[in-house]
Amino acid sequence: MTTTEMMTLKTEPFVLNFGPVHPSTHGVYRMRATLDGEVILDIEPVVGYLHRGIEKLAEERTYSGFIPLTDRLDYISPMSNNLGYCLAVEKLAGIKVPERAEYLRVIMAELQRLANHCIAVGSFLNDTGAYYTPFMYAFREREKIVDLFDMACGQRLTYNYMRIGGVSQDIPDEFLPALKRLVEQLPRWVDEYDVLLKQNEILLARTKGVGVLPRETAINCGISGPVARGSGVNWDLRKADPYSIYDRFEFDIPQGEAGDCYDRYRVRIEEMRQSLRIIKQAMNDIPAGPVRADVPHLIRPPKGEAYAHIEAPKGELGYYLVSDNSIAPYRCHIRPTSLINLTALREMVKGWKVADLIAIFGSIDITMGEVDR
Amino acid sequence: MEVSSDREYIYTSSELDQQEGQLIEEVKAGARESIPDPDAWLDEEVKRSIMLSSVDALLNWARRSSLWTAICFPACCAFEFIAAEGPRFDMSRFGMEILRASPRQADLMITAGTLTWKMAPVVRRIYNQMPEPKWVIAMGACAISGGIFRSSYNVVPGYNKIIPVDVYVPGCPPRPEALIYGVQMLQKKIAKEHPIPDLPQMLQRGKKE
Amino acid sequence: MTVALSGKDIASQLEEKFPGSVEETGQDSLVVKSDSLLAVAGYLKDTGSLAFDYLNYITAVDYYSYFEVVYQLTSLKHNHSVIIKSRCYGRENPAVPSVVGLWQSADFQEREIYDLMGIKFEGHPNLKRLFLWEGFQGHPLRKDYL
């Protein structure tokens, strides 16, 4: 027997638990990964560690009283959650929103997209190994955006700003000049961040070609948002099914081709630039007027059902409401962007190593509040 | 060298699920009463010599100035905690910049988020894995009493049903400044502790037994 | 703008292909019998003029005498969408065929509906509880769960 034959090792697969308490799992997400050495054969996600029963709680709160609960769904972009829910109720009850409120909603939603992508990109880079430095840079910029939100509604994380029929209060006088200063500063920061990282060897080695999601799989798995656009699916709800007043603004939809982690990262950076474009246009055109339609606090929409969806920073966020003409919804279902985006994780990680699993998982950008509701 | 591969898995996936489900039911059944707050510093002191109390002060200063946090970040408050660690509200001025994943190297657990019954055994296990001395800060309304989700079927009404809590920081979510104030309160609490066991009392107890 | 096809447009086409499958047609949705659901779904996905390749969501609603499972489908190519519903009567063992074979995004959503509502999806490869633990009694989103 030759030496190579004598040294043949037979291995067997084993299951490793990536527990709910883990520094890189973006919250309480658990996976049981079947590994053969370091190569991943299969993963089985276990979710539900943050299942707070929000859909059941919707049946005990009034329509307006449910808005603070929607903040806690995707707690990194609460403005978008609020907006989606208010659009659904307004569709159900046939309420028209005043012009100034529409512009304010668009400004807040796009600022929220910027803040979300700051965290998404920062924590993705944290996962690939640049421990904390890009994360802290991104947080520094997010603080500037969160300061604006603080000025508008008094809160830093769970805003509860949108109301059924508009927004809760008008912006103070200092808001627009501060927004103007931010919009002038932020493109330079995005460029600086981009330049530092675009040609970085380690980032390219760890993300180029890693975790490829083919276009057909993305559509079949119902993926939406930057993950789908990174795989070449040309679908953005702001263009395909415009809600609010998005059809008045000019912006592009960035798309990737290869569907790997690097493309998803680049799509997010480009989306930040496009959001700044939209904010500039909205800032210039914002009219004066009331910020809330004349809607009673305890509204009773007529019997029926409605589904409204928005392009949240993570993907398609939708609310399906069924009403039976009482003060509380009969059924409120939230289309969970992050849970559906997780469907593709199994396909994306088979054959890669454990370190790639963390990078791929970070590039999908999920929030457990939305997965578990 | 050959490793035989006809060994089956020890547990299948559904058996694991059943065992974990049983564990959660046991924790839920045993968590009716709140665990009382540790209030050792309220004890009346026995006479202590001056040398022992200055060693106390030294140890307390060392412990409270370098609290290392264990990660326990279920929900939204986590982002205010991370913002408190961030460049603006810098918590590393208080010695708390270390955020290692391992509970074995931590002495503070900041519970930032809603606790659900499914997560409860995990939190208890992490708490048990932390070596003494250890403290817990309950951050946010959900950690104090279940918060806005209190009436839900899967939410534990407060972390003090599962682990003993030292400091409660209210807010939903509490601002990073509020969290830093809570940490300072904990530091004041640690300053009053008596880490050195009282030698005369211990000798007396030994004589009795 | 995504055109929301009304129930009546699709209903006539479906009645030709699968007679007796459509129960009701509403303004913006149509109700299909649960035993012909798989066939109808396959037809909607594969027909060129309809091409519903993207499943937006699946959800279930508890109307006391029946459960209604709601599917919304979108076609990215033609930019139109439709809402299909299917009812299961009886509260003891409601069951509906699973569409995981057609759209993989149904995987977690059907597990969630089984967990929270108790509706079984026949043909799902891994139908077990998603959010709550094994051994939890009852299905919380039902109207009779306290």
Q: Chain C partners of A342 at a C-beta cutoff of 8 Å?
A: 108
**Cβ-based contacts of C79 with chain A (< 8 Å):** 240-241
Q: What is the pLDDT of residue B66?
A: 83
Contact between A19 and B2 using a beta-carbon 8 Å cutoff: no
Contact list, C2 vs chain A (CB under 8 Å):
240-241
Check pLDDT > 70 for residue B40: no
Look up the domain containing B165 and give its range.
Answer: 49-191
pLDDT tens, residue by residue, C20-41: 777 777 777 888 888 888 888 8
Alpha-carbon span A78 to A320, nearest angstrom: 18
In a domain, B86, yes or no: yes
Subunits touching C (CB < 8 Å, at least 3 pairs)?
A, B
Residue A219, both tokens? 């559509």
Residue B3 has pLDDT above 70, yes or no: no
Q: Which amino acid would we find at residue C43?
A: Y
Residue C61 three-state SS: strand
Q: What pTM, to 2 d.p., does this model score?
A: 0.89
Residues sharing a CB contact under 8 Å with residue A177, sequence separation 6 or more, in sequence order? none
Q: Is B152 part of a structural domain of the chain?
A: yes
Task: Say what the pLDDT of residue B207 is.
Answer: 58
What is the count of residue pairs from B and C with beta carbons less than 8 Å apart? 28
Residues from chain A contacting residue C131 (CB–CB below 8 Å)? 47-48, 51, 372
What is the DSSP pairing of strand C30-32 with strand C22-25?
antiparallel
A219 touches chain C (CB under 8 A): yes
Here the CATH number for the domain that contains residue A318 is: 1.10.645.10
B69 touches A at CB < 8 Å = no
Which pairs from A135-141 meet CB under 8 Å and 24+ separation?
Answer: A136/B86, A136/B87, A137/A193, A138/A193, A139/B82, A139/B83, A139/B86, A139/B87, A139/B88, A140/B86, A140/B87, A140/B88, A141/A186, A141/A189
Q: Are strands A39-46 and A162-163 parallel, antiparallel or unpaired?
A: unpaired
Distance CA A334, CA A304 (A): 17
C82, C130, C146, best to mutate vs chain A, most A CBs in 10 Å: C130
Q: Is residue B30 part of a domain?
A: no
pLDDT, mean of residues C42-65: 87
CA-nearest residue to C129 within chain B is B17
Q: How many helices (H) and strands (E) does chain A have?
A: 16, 8
B79 band by pLDDT with thresholds 50, 70 and 90: confident
User: How far A46 CA lies from chain C's nearest CA (Å)?
Assistant: 7
Report yes or no on A44 lying in a domain. Answer: no
Contact between A325 and A302 (Cβ < 8 Å): yes
HSE-CB of A250 using CA atoms within 13 angstroms: 2
The residue segments making up the domain with residue A72 are 3-36+55-372
Residue A69 Cα distances to A32, A100, B130, C146, angstroms? 30, 25, 33, 20
* Closest chain A CA to residue C144: A56
Long-range (24+ apart) CB contacts under 8 A made by B29-33 are: B31/B120, B31/B156, B31/B161, B31/B162, B32/B161, B33/B161
Cβ pair C108:A340 closer than 8 A:
yes
Quick one: pLDDT at residue A87? 92
What pLDDT was estimated at residue B46?
A: 45
Q: What's the token pair of residue A195?
A: 């330049």
Q: Is the pLDDT of residue B209 over 50?
A: no
Asked if B7's CB is within 8 angstroms of A12's CB, the reply is yes
Q: What is the DSSP letter of C36?
A: G
* Four-CA torsion A92, A242, A248, A245, nearest 10 degrees: 20
All residues of chain B having their beta carbon less than 8 Å from the beta carbon of residue C135 are 18, 21-22, 24-25
Question: What's chain C's length in residues?
Answer: 146
Please determine, for residue C93, whether its predicted confidence score (pLDDT) is greater than 80.
yes
In this structure, what token pair is assigned to residue A184?
Answer: 């002038």
Answer yes or no: are the C-beta atoms of B37 and B165 closer than 8 Å.
yes
Strand A166-167 versus strand A14-18 pairing type: unpaired
Q: Spell out which residues of chain B touch residue C143, defining contact as CB-CB under 8 Å.
A: none
CATH number at B96 reads 3.40.50.12280
Give, as one character, the DSSP assignment of residue B155: B
Residue B192's pLDDT is what?
A: 75
- C13 touches A at CB < 8 Å: no
| Structure tokens belonging to residue B129 | 């894995």
Residues of chain C with Cβ-Cβ distance to B24 below 8 Å are 133, 135
| C-alpha distance from residue C20 to each of A100, A217, C37, C49, C72 (Å) | 50, 33, 12, 22, 21
Residue A112 domain-assigned? yes
Chain C interface, best mutation among B26, B154, B155, B156, by max C CB count within 10 A: B154
Neighbours of chain B (3+ CB pairs under 8 A): A, C
pLDDT per residue, tens digit, chain A (373 aa), is 555 655 677 778 888 888 888 877 678 888 888 888 888 888 888 888 889 889 889 888 899 899 998 888 888 899 999 999 999 999 988 889 999 999 999 999 999 999 999 889 988 888 887 777 888 888 888 999 999 899 988 888 888 899 898 898 888 988 989 999 999 989 998 888 888 888 888 888 888 888 888 888 888 888 989 999 989 888 888 888 888 888 889 888 998 888 888 999 999 999 999 999 999 999 888 888 888 888 888 888 888 889 999 999 999 999 999 998 888 999 999 999 999 998 888 888 888 988 888 889 888 888 888 888 8
- Mean pLDDT score of chain B, rounded to an integer? 80
Q: CA geometry: angle at A346 spanning A344 and A347, to 5°?
A: 70
Please judge whether C136 and B21 are an interchain contact, meaning their C-beta atoms are less than 8 angstroms apart: yes
Q: How many CB atoms lie within 10 A of CB C146?
A: 6
Residue A43 lies in a domain: no
From the list C135, C140, C145, the residue facing B21 with the nearest CB is C135
pLDDT in tens, B95-147: 887 777 688 888 888 888 889 998 888 899 889 999 888 899 999 998 898 88
Q: Tell me which residue in B3, B74, B87 faces A28 most closely, judged by beta carbons.
A: B74
What's the pLDDT at B87?
Answer: 84
| Residue A339 contacts residue A105 (beta carbons within 8 Å) | no
pLDDT digits (tens, 9 = 90+) for C111-131: 999 988 888 888 888 888 888
* Cα gap A197→A194, rounded to integer Å: 5
Q: How many domains does chain B have?
A: 1
Cβ neighbour number for residue A94 with a 10 Å cutoff: 10
Between CA B83 and CA B89 the distance in angstroms is: 7
Helix (H), strand (E) counts: chain B = 7, 4
Q: What is the rounded average pLDDT of the residues B148-160?
A: 88
How far is CA A6 from each of CA A10, A11, B4, B6, rounded to the nearest angstrom?
A: 11, 15, 15, 20
- Two tokens, residue C70: 């709601």
pLDDT for residue B176 is more than 70: yes
pLDDT at site A85: 92
**Could you read off the pLDDT of A107-121 as tens digits, one per residue?**
999 999 999 998 899
Count CB atoms within 10 A of the CB of residue C92: 5
A134 in Cβ contact with A103 (< 8 Å): no
Q: What's the alpha-carbon Rg for chain A, to the nearest Å?
A: 22
End-to-end CA distance of chain C: 42
Residue B178 lies in a domain: yes
Chain B residue numbers with beta carbons less than 8 Å from the beta carbon of A52 are: 114, 116, 149, 152, 154-155
Question: pLDDT for A251-269, tens place per residue?
Answer: 889 988 888 889 999 999 9
**Residue C19 backbone dihedrals phi, psi, to 5 degrees:** -65, 140
Number of domains in chain A: 1
CB contacts, 8 Å: C56 with chain A: 222, 307, 309, 316, 318, 335
Q: What is the ipTM of this complex?
A: 0.91
> Is the Cβ–Cβ distance between A217 and A333 less than 8 Å?
no
Q: What is the full DSSP assignment across A153-198? A: HS-SS----EETTEESSPPPTTHHHHHHHHHHHHHHHHHHHHHHHH
Which among A51, A219, A333 has the least Cβ separation from residue C53?
Answer: A219
Q: What are the structural domains, with CATH classification, of chain C?
A: 3-103 (3.30.460.80)
pLDDT confidence tier of residue B4, bands split at 50, 70 and 90: very low
